[in-house]
Amino acid sequence: MRRKLLLGNWKMNKLNSEAKEFAIAAKPLVAKARANKIDLGVAPTYLSLATARKYSSKAMIVAAQNVHFEDHGAFTGEVSIPMLKELKINWVILGHSERRAYDNETSEKCNKKMKALIANDMIPVYCVGETLAQYEAGETKDVVKEQILKGFEGITEEQAKKFVVAYEPVWSIGTGKNASTEIAQDVCKFIRKTLKSVVGKSANKIRILYGGSVKPENIKAYLSCPDVDGALVGGASLKIDSYEGLLNNIL
Element (H, E) at 123: strand 123-128
Q: Using the 8-state DSSP alphabet, how is residue 7 labeled?
A: E
User: Is the separation of the CB atoms in 223 and 250 below 8 Å?
Assistant: yes
Catalytic residue among 68, 158, 168, 217: 168
Q: Is 168 a catalytic residue?
A: yes
In whole angstroms, give the CA distance from residue 138 to residue 249. 32
DSSP string, 65-108: S---SSSSSS-TT---HHHHHHTT--EEEE--HHHHHHS---HH
Pick the catalytic residue: 96, 98, 105, 130?
Answer: 96
What type of residue is 151? G
User: Which DSSP string corresponds to 148-217?
Assistant: HHHHTTT--HHHHTT-EEEE--GGGTTTS-PPPHHHHHHHHHHHHHHHHHHHGGGGGTSEEEE-SS--TT
Q: 3-class SS at 129?
A: coil
68 as an active site residue: the answer is: no
Catalytically active residues are 96, 168
